Amino acid sequence: MRVGELSKRSGVPVATIKYYLREGLLPAGVLTSPNQAHYDDEHLRRLRLVRALVDVGGLSIAAVREVLAAVDTRDDSMHNKLGAVQEAISQPGSVELDPVAVEDVRAFLARHGEDECADVTDSNVTHMLASALSAARTVGHDHFQELLDPYLEGARLIARADLDYIARRGSPDDVIEAMVVGTLIGDAVLKAVRRLAHVQVSRTVIGDGSDD
Residues between 10 and 39 that touch a copy of itself (CB under 8 A): 11
Contacting residue, 22, 33, 35, 209, with a copy of itself by CB under 8 A? 209
Q: Does 153 bind a copy of itself (CB under 8 A)?
A: yes
* DSSP 8-state secondary structure symbol assigned to residue 201: H
Stretch that binds a copy of itself, among 14-22, 24-32, 65-73, 80-88 (CB under 8 A): 80-88
Exactly one of 23, 42, 116, 208 binds a copy of itself (CB under 8 A); that residue is: 208
Residues 17 and 29: beta-carbon distance below 8 Å: no
Query: How far does the chain reach from its first CA to its final CA, in angstroms?
Result: 67
Q: What is the DSSP string of 137-168?
A: HHTT-TTGGGGHHHHHHHHHHHHHHHHHHHHT
Q: How far apart are CA 58 and CA 75, in angstroms?
A: 28
Residue closer to a copy of itself (CB basis): 116 or 187:
187
DSSP 5: H
Least separation in angstroms between residue 139's CB and a copy of itself is 6
Helices of type H across the chain: 3-10, 14-22, 41-51, 61-71, 78-88, 99-111, 124-138, 148-167, 172-205
Among residues 15, 62, 117, 139, which is the contact residue for a copy of itself, using CB under 8 A? 139
196 near a copy of itself, rule: CB under 8 A: yes
Binding to a copy of itself in span 86-105, by CB under 8 A: 86, 90
List binders of a copy of itself among 165-194 (CB under 8 A).
165, 167, 178-179, 181-183, 185-194
Phi, psi of 202 (to 5 degrees): -65, -35
Q: Is 70 in the site for a copy of itself (CB under 8 A)?
A: no
Binding-site member from 46, 51, 88, 173 for a copy of itself (CB under 8 A) = 51
The answer to whether the CB of 184 falls within 8 A of the CB of 197 is: no
Is residue 163 part of the contact set for a copy of itself (CB under 8 A)?
yes
Contact flag: residue 111 with a copy of itself (CB under 8 A): no
